[in-house]
Structure 1
């Protein structure tokens, strides 16, 4: 009888635990490539996109989900509140909340400044943003002149609210041509409305959507494979906002740009673009390379701790004896962030915030002349062509006349868009 009572008590305790789970989060692994509808999207002070789903957050275009309370603990303390409804990053310099990230949960708003919760928060939304309703769908900042005044645009169902940051006046609008947003954000001076796992680019003043929308969000804001036979691989790769992994130009001047599972090739002398999978053209690599440079009609391709070498041709031929470790081939431990070579025989390899030189004619090859890069905290890709060095950081690239000008630079040259200037994307 005592045993039966003990079993009943254990069953009751288990049932209560399942009905009223404690603060521990579920262990289910979220996969952004499965078509998740994000609850909110915001850009942080470094320009990195945060995608919120339930109690998790994806940082950037390809990082795996992590518990959002690891970065923002306080919203998790309010268990009676739901998931993040909306979020935005305040970039209006005249606002006292300049460089603050705001999270909206039900009727509350949280304000963070470089992951510290601002004093007095959380507060009621009506206290901080009078005239703005609770239980929002989305929010996005809109500075002048992109909006008539420095504003925040709030979305709830069919209703659109333009909130004047300076005067706190609210102008209610209706965006008839745009679908209801489940999240919204400003990125690279463009405005995006997510609805499910699709997105549309819109005019923040009028809500007008120009161009061929909606589009598949995973094609442009995630490093996922294509999702259907209808996916336009060239269109996706030339207009994607995901940063490049690697870029190079071969002896004939043909450009190769790598991103995730795919690469795009632009032939010298014309504007023809071709896209293919890395798996198909470089089957030994499978996907995702870290860096690439071209030398003596061969492509040197870095992946993690190894380097693969292919002879350029149709098809590209994988050299016997490879892959080798990066340390064995170049005298430096992998992985590396970027690599490029100009008209000479010196390969420039970027690892962290340092650049090394490797004489390709030397035996053995040794990484020498370690020099610090002062103008970038991180480089995504780099290449050298007849015009000089192009350094890719995020969705932009920067031109330097030579490797020495790049390493000696103390200020940034003009910022240029990868999608527009390199690949001719017009939207």
Structure 2
């Protein structure tokens, strides 16, 4: 994604908690929304005019396997390509010939631990459901909805996935009139819910951890745990669809290089939390790194962590909480409750962790050991102890560090645009010199790599 595209954002819209325009680039070699051959007709003005017209409700909405926005209406599907180019429209029967006809609801499954279901596209029609992967109908489908999702009725209005970080456990939300049915994926049971504040949804979307209820060309953001919908309805054409003369074309140029994930502006903090979400912080902005299929857009930190403002110097997660360090203060948020700030914070970092400041900090999965980096030294803090006290400063192979995090793939250290990776904390502490540098943006942010000497590829930072 180029710098102009990366900056396409409405600052006032973000302040209201609404969606960010679709401006990310299509991964190389990605196919179309559902065509097994990946054929994608060029966008055209007619399709865009039809999509931008106030033509009534969309029957369904979701994202394809490669992150293309799909909007269904009647016997056609509109595909809003990645990268902000013009949408195109095709008959549903031309994309999914086994299905044909209108679609009642649609959703994209994300199952990292179930390869057979990972990134499957489910389309609902009447009493049956079709499952596609790689553009091909999966064996055993179509099936009755009741067989695949016991307790869920047919003739649905909308459906959307709700991962454990948003719903407490992996779930799928089904909408039928003013009724909501929550299907527990692990237990395979369905529980009805009453969300009168939300009302009926003609279609539903989950994008970058936010949930949207669509009615006509309007949408409302809702919170699946509470079932409420704070804020006023907004227009899809100002956020998700590149309609001429509307909000999609207005950028927030004031962010500059900070809003361009692929610029060489250093990240001040990295965070891999207990729910599998990965964030990078730069200035007053944060990026989601694990949801690359839906783009890696900047958000003001206060949008994700309410009440927080300004740069984050260091971040780490432990025991269902995320710790965000700003200067000599630390704020603590509950990772599985929509990043709700714990009462009594922020408080002095010295009182919380026994250190006066931090340039970077990280914990590794399943460990209570915190590693705090200041300058060219690292200190260990046992988070399970009270009061917490920092151990003696130990030398680092780096003279300074901008940010660091630890995942199951190892320890990632960023210094400027360079990434240094270590198998684990022990190897970092024992290293006589820094690990060979790699371009950080291509590795962590899936940015184009312009170098010719090293093929950095990508890494899974979930």
- Bigger RCO (CA 8 Å, 6+ sep): 2
Larger Rg: 1
* TM-score normalised by structure 2 residue count: 0.45
* TM-score normalised by structure 1 residue count: 0.49
